[in-house]
Structure 1
Amino acid sequence: MTAIDFASLSGLELMRWVQTERPADIPSIGRLLGMRFDEVEHGRVVISLDTRPDFANPLGTVHGGIAATLLDSALGCAVHTTLAAGVGYTTLELKVNYIRTAQTNGQTLTATGTVIHAGRRTATAEGKVLDEQGKLIAHATTTCLIL
């Protein structure tokens, strides 16, 4: 693996690097959950994962934390695509609305995050998680602090 100076990459460049390279030796929540960066563009990111039995809640369906993590990742990464090199962010607030359950049988869940506002100190984004049939599983908004 070639050494990369991450601080020299814009947010969009870094997200595209993650999309294409995604080194298996770098621990991340994406690696843990099996997230795939399907689309990365300025102000918009699409991330998907395949459900599995490990994602189950006590009722046997996908735990809401999986959808929340998928949304936090998609929305936060969408915000990151708008940032200059060396600028970071952190989630200040994440509001998730759960619409329906998802099954743990290997179905693909896809989250789309889109930036609404990217300012000097804060950014906001919105997004949704859809199942393979295009049914809405959850939707969310976020506010991020620009660091």
Structure 2
Amino acid sequence: MKYKILKKQKIGKMCAVCGSENEFGLKSTFYELDDGQVLALCVPRQEHQSYPGRMHGGIAGALLDETIGRAIYIKDKNAWGVTIELKLRFHKPIPLDEELRAMGRITRDTRRIYEGEGEIFLKSGEIAVSATAKYFKVPLEANDHIEEQRNEIWETSTFVKEPVEIEI
């Protein structure tokens, strides 16, 4: 299935999942899609392994948590979420040094909680990991303690060639 990319999301400099300056991070890039989902692109490296040649399951969980959680911003630009539950199901091993595509979406929005789901896709298009998650709603102004440092911690990542559409 093809998706049109609408916008690239900002990344954190030291985030474990997207941090451009975190030498051990996944250095994921996130995009908002035309159907309300978030797409993450990354290539796990040797430092992300568990068994030789395989990505660690906890790192796969972190990637899905971040991807699903970023879909909140599409639903409500004035809120963010704190993870209160993340359930993972592992379907296939994830190889290292191969591009991964993770997709996340919000499936339910209540007064206090967002619920979402997502998947990590292998290069073949097969689902390697699927997840469901719940996030406690927090207004953006609750983030005031980092707002002063926003320019130091957030930036727009750049690819050599930005994609305009993606096929999963």
TM-score range, shorter chain: 0.7 to 0.9
Q: Per the alignment, in what secondary structure is the counterpart of residue 66 of structure 2?
A: helix
The aligned residue for residue 117 of structure 2 is: 126
Matching residue within 35, 59, 74 for 1:66? 59
State the Cα deviation string for residues 59-112 of structure 1 (Å, max 9, x = none): 441111121111001111112321242x332011000001110111x1011110
Q: Per the alignment, in what secondary structure is the counterpart of residue 89 of structure 2?
A: strand
Structure 1 segments unaligned to the other structure (5+ residues): 1-14
TM-score, normalised to structure 1, is 0.76
The aligned residue for residue 99 of structure 1 is: 91
Q: Per the alignment, in what secondary structure is the counterpart of residue 135 of structure 2?
A: strand
Instruction: Please tell me whether residue 28 in structure 1 is matched to residue 15 in structure 2.
Output: yes
Moved over 2 A (4+): 38-43
- Give the 5 Å matches for 1:1-147: 16-18=8-10, 22=11, 26-29=13-16, 30-31=18-19, 32-40=25-33, 43-85=36-78, 87-104=79-96, 106-147=97-138
Structure 2 segments unaligned to the other structure (5+ residues): 1-6, 20-24, 139-168
Q: 1:129 to 1:49 in 2, by over 3 A?
A: same
- Are the aligned partners of 2:84 and 2:136 in contact in 1 as well (CA < 8 Å)? yes
RMSD, aligned CA: 2.0
- Are the aligned partners of 1:51 and 1:107 in contact in 2 as well (CA < 8 Å)? yes
CA distance in 2, matches of 1:103, 1:80: 30
Q: Per the alignment, in what secondary structure is the counterpart of residue 81 of structure 1?
A: helix
Structure with more of its chain in helix, by fraction: 1
Q: 1:42 to 1:92 in 2, by over 3 A?
A: farther
TM-score, normalised to structure 2, is 0.67
CA distance in 1, matches of 2:125, 2:35: 24
Give, in angstroms, the shift of residue 52 of structure 1: 1.2
CA distance in 1, matches of 2:45, 2:115: 31
